[in-house]
Amino acid sequence: MKLALASLAALAVATPAFAQGDIELGAAYSHFDADGANLDALTARGTYFFTPHVGVEGEASIGVGDDNVGAAKVELDNSLAAFGVVQMPVAERVDLFARAGYATNDYNVDVPGLGSASGEDDGLAYGVGGKVFLTDRFGLRADVTRYEGDDTDADVISVGGVMKF
């Protein structure tokens, strides 16, 4: 009974916070430098801000290019990530942000004569970036994120557009 009352109280407090939140959707070009392999991806993001300064973000990337590393051809199949986000406005239409979370990246490696292998690499991801809004709803976003996987680390630079709803 106490658990049910506590849950109802938490829901009553959280509901107004959700009603005040802002949603941002974005698309970007991302460049992954994954242990020497330079890989390109298209990235989609969705961010929900509980307050003007704190939110959560989901991100999905699909690889659109590959790279030759020695005799091997390396591809990013996809990347999925979830982040906690904090942001701070520094001017009327300019926000800086930091994010930290968890990511999983799927890679494919093909070595002529030896075959191919695919693998998943999971781990911590963290980064910083900024947004410049050109109108009340549309802006440009750039960020740098470090993915620290079990086997492969990647530095990712992303540039794209963002829309507020």
**Model confidence over 66-101: pLDDT tens digits?**
999 989 999 999 999 999 999 999 999 999 999 999
Hey, is 2 helix, strand or coil? helix
**Model confidence over 22-51: pLDDT tens digits?**
999 999 999 999 988 999 999 999 999 999
Domain 21-164 has CATH 1.10.580.10: no
CA distance 109 to 62: 16
Q: Reply yes or no on whether the pLDDT at 161 is more than 80.
A: yes
CA distance 78 to 71: 22
CA distance 107 to 123: 14
Which among 3-12, 50-59, 109-118 has the top mean pLDDT? 50-59
Q: Reply yes or no on whether the pLDDT at 13 is more than 70.
A: no
Query: CA-CA-CA-CA torsion for 107, 112, 115, 116, nearest 10 degrees?
Result: 10
Domain ranges of the chain: 21-164
**Model confidence over 123-137: pLDDT tens digits?**
999 999 999 999 999
CA distance 67 to 41: 12
Q: Reply yes or no on whether the pLDDT at 16 is more than 60.
A: no
**C-alpha torsion sign, points 25, 104, 65, 156:** positive
